[in-house]
Structure 1
């Protein structure tokens, strides 16, 4: 009987290793890819313009399955691509510049943040590539400071629609009553 038990031991060990291997796969946490630096020769995935020749925040999308990097000359162009019906439900990794951490004229790629967690100011006086753009910030406080100087309306990622991209947003003055109205409209 001991021989039969020893004979089945390797089989039991293999089965145990297989179970551990399977459970390890199920528990594996998928890390999001790191942002990719925007180089001087890179062109916008939407309009083909040289990305680094223009001011304002830029964007990039890393596709989930292929891990292909699409770079954009502005946050507006990035949203124009992301909000297309064939892209809107996908779980791509998205990055934008935190404009509270970098210069408007030439954003530094060390200031790239998760676009889904950013706060956006749309309709400000500041222009990017293609004119009107959305200033991106890591905090509401930074977005409010920007709006005090340049106007605009604050929106969260999930609140931005194609309509915001297709129309010029009214210039907002964030003093007085408008501040409380805006804050109440924000999605969290």
Structure 2
């Protein structure tokens, strides 16, 4: 009887740990979304001062290491223009962009922010953002490739993007 109770306890513990392991990926994405700040109706772009919510296309956010403050951007182009400046590169702690495979182009939704360093970007597409041409951002390379096939451009990873490309 005691052995049966031990086996049942072991089986329950294994199932619980398996459930926790499977949910780690979702928990990580959910934690990121909680860290990305909501874009409010009157928020202005940190770089150009335009009202962010008035424009289509993916938006961006950057958190500073020193002040823990968030800077919001009306487009991924403005985000990259800011974070690629040498004086800002060392200060950036976290960066978020919209996953455009999950949210409408005309009005991206805050729950679809992803880690910008892990995202795939399409540069040179026909889709316009707040500042004209923008970098379409995606969580998966396959989604970026599909977007590129439909709207043109070229797919890049975060570390491949330079200030000259903007």
Distance, in Å, in 2 between the alignment partners of 1:57 and 1:123 is: 14
How do 1:40-79 residues align onto structure 2 when only pairs under 5 Å count? 40-79=41-80
After TM superposition, give the deviation of residue 91 of structure 1 in Å: 4.2
Distance, in Å, in 2 between the alignment partners of 1:94 and 1:57 is: 13
**Contact in 1 for aligned 2:122/2:156 (Cα 8 Å):** yes
**Contact in 1 for aligned 2:95/2:116 (Cα 8 Å):** yes
Residue of structure 1 in register with 2:164 after alignment:
163
Following TM superposition, the consecutive aligned residue runs of length 4 or more in structure 1 with deviations greater than 4 angstroms are none
SS at match of 2:143: helix
Any idea what the Cα deviations from partners look like across 1:76-104, whole Å, max 9, x if unmatched? 00000000011123342000000001000
Whether 1:99 and 2:100 are equivalent positions in the alignment is yes
Q: Name the structure where helix makes up a greater proportion of residues.
A: 2
SS at match of 2:118: coil
Bigger Rg, which one: 1
TM-score by length of 1: 0.70
How do 1:37-186 residues align onto structure 2 when only pairs under 5 Å count? 37-165=38-166
**Contact in 1 for aligned 2:62/2:92 (Cα 8 Å):** no
| Gap runs ≥5 in structure 1 | 1-30, 166-188
Query: How many correspondences in the alignment?
Result: 135
Residue of structure 2 in register with 1:175 after alignment:
none
After TM superposition, give the deviation of residue 65 of structure 1 in Å: 2.2
After TM superposition, give the deviation of residue 121 of structure 1 in Å: 0.2
Distance, in Å, in 2 between the alignment partners of 1:147 and 1:91 is: 28
Higher normalized contact order (CA 8 Å, seq sep 6+, divided by chain length): 2
TM-score by length of 2: 0.79
| Gap runs ≥5 in structure 2 | 1-30
What is the alpha-carbon root mean square deviation over aligned residues?
1.3
SS at match of 1:76: helix
Distance, in Å, in 1 between the alignment partners of 2:116 and 2:98 is: 8
